[in-house]
Structure 1
Amino acid sequence: MSELKYLNGYPEDLIQQIQTLIDQDKLAAYLLNKYPVSHDIKSDKALYELAMGFKNSYLKKSGPLSKVIFDSKISLKQQALGLHSYISRVQGKKLKAKNEIRIASVLKNVPKEFLLVILVHELAHLKEKEHNKAFYKLCKHMEAQYFQLEFDLRVYLTHYDSHGSLY
């Protein structure tokens, strides 16, 4: 059985289905059938605009978002695809706070649905810092298919680790 680290915590029968696809060398075909094309959001500006669209639709009362970028320093080895940071700096006599979202550069070449699930996840941290029930409820509110898309992204990452990008 190959390493399925991205699928830890999922039911054994589901993991076994993915393992069968791997064993039969059909995982790539499964993913490409479900998600045939990569998105066209390649610049930080386009990513920021996409994030702001979600923020303005679902998180109007959350703090301002100062930066949303693709970051080549985020590694899959950390099992992180995005980072949300809240940075406080003293400027003169005022304390300035900024929210930043950094998305792993590997997500420049994936289906739009995979990019959106990470973006929704990181945006949800503007309101809910912890991965609790309220956090996942907010994720599902912003993206109705959140849980399925997160699972499919994890399946893609399983393929990516052993074969590289499909797109």
Structure 2
Amino acid sequence: MTTLRYLQGYPDHLQEQVRAALAAGHLGRWLTERYPERHDVQSDKALYAYTMALKQSHLRNAPGIDKVLYDARLDVVKNALGLHTAISRVHGGRLKAKKEIRIASVFREAPAAFLETIVVHELAHLKELGHNKAFYQLCEHMQPDYHQREFDLRVYLTWRQLAPAAVATASTDSDKA
């Protein structure tokens, strides 16, 4: 039985459905039919603007963000898809905190809905540091179908991990279209 790294916290019957779709070769097609839209957020500058627009529409009173960028090392080094950090530095006699959001570079090629899900998740950490009930309520406020998209995102990451040849084929096919 294949271990589904991104779906370990989900019930066995859901994991079995994903395994069956993966074995039958249907998972990639299902994902591309369900999430056909790609995004144009390719640069760090565009990612910052995208994140700030989401923050402005949902979290106006949250602390500011100093930097938002894609991080190629994030998935490998931190075993994370997004990271919210506050770096404190001494400026003169004062302590200044710089808030950063780093998004795994795998999301440059991901469907638009998945990029939005990761950004919403990291923005929610501006108000709630832990993954508690209030945190997930805030995520649902910003993205009403957050839980379904998070599950689908985990299915997408599973597909990318376990079917690398299928991913290359799907990206080549979408380039030809």
TM range (shorter): over 0.9
1:108 paired residue number: 108
Q: Give the alignment of 1:44-123 within 5 angstroms.
A: 44-76=44-76, 78-123=78-123
Listed as ranges, the matches of 1:138-153 within 5 Å are 138-153=138-153
Q: Which amino acid aligns with 1:32?
A: T
Looking at structure 1, the residues matched to 146 and 140 of structure 2 have their Cα atoms a distance apart, in angstroms, of 5
CA distance in 1, matches of 2:37, 2:54: 22
Deviation string, structure 1 residues 48-99 (Cα, Å, up to 9, x no partner) = 1111111111111111100000011112574311100011110111111111
| Uncovered stretches (5+) of structure 2, i.e. residues with no partner | 172-177
State the one-letter code of the partner of 1:59. L
Give the counterpart letter for 1:39 in structure 2.
H
CA distance in 2, matches of 1:29, 1:57: 33
TM-score normalised by the chain length of structure 1: 0.95
The answer to whether the 8 Å contact 1:37/1:110 transfers is no
Q: What letter matches 2:157 in structure 1?
A: L
Matched, 1:11 2:26: no
- CA RMSD across the alignment: 1.3
SS at match of 1:127: coil
Q: For residues 90 and 59 of structure 2, what CA distance do their matches in structure 1 show? A: 26
Query: Which position in structure 1 is the counterpart of 2:175?
Result: none
Which runs of no fewer than 5 residues in structure 1 stay unpaired? none
AA of the residue aligned to 1:29: R
Q: Does 1:126 align with 2:121?
A: no
**Which deviations, in whole Å up to 9, do the C-alpha atoms of 1:87-137 show, x marking residues without a partner?**
111011111111100000111001000001000000000010000000000
More helix by share: 2
User: Does the aligned pair in 2 maintain the 1:71–1:105 contact within 8 Å?
Assistant: yes
Taking the aligned partners of 2:96 and 2:32, their CA distance within structure 1 comes to: 45
> What TM-score do the two structures reach when normalised by structure 2?
0.89
d(CA) in 2 for partners of 1:88, 1:110: 32
Q: By how many angstroms is 1:39 displaced? A: 1.4
> In 2 relative to 1, CA 78–3 (structure 1 residues): closer, same or farther, beyond 3 Å?
farther
Q: What is the CA–CA distance in structure 2 between the aligned matches of 1:132 and 1:28, rounded to whole Å?
A: 32
Q: What is the identity percentage for the equivalent residue pairs of Structure 1 and Structure 2?
A: 50
Corresponding residue number in structure 2 for 1:20 = 20
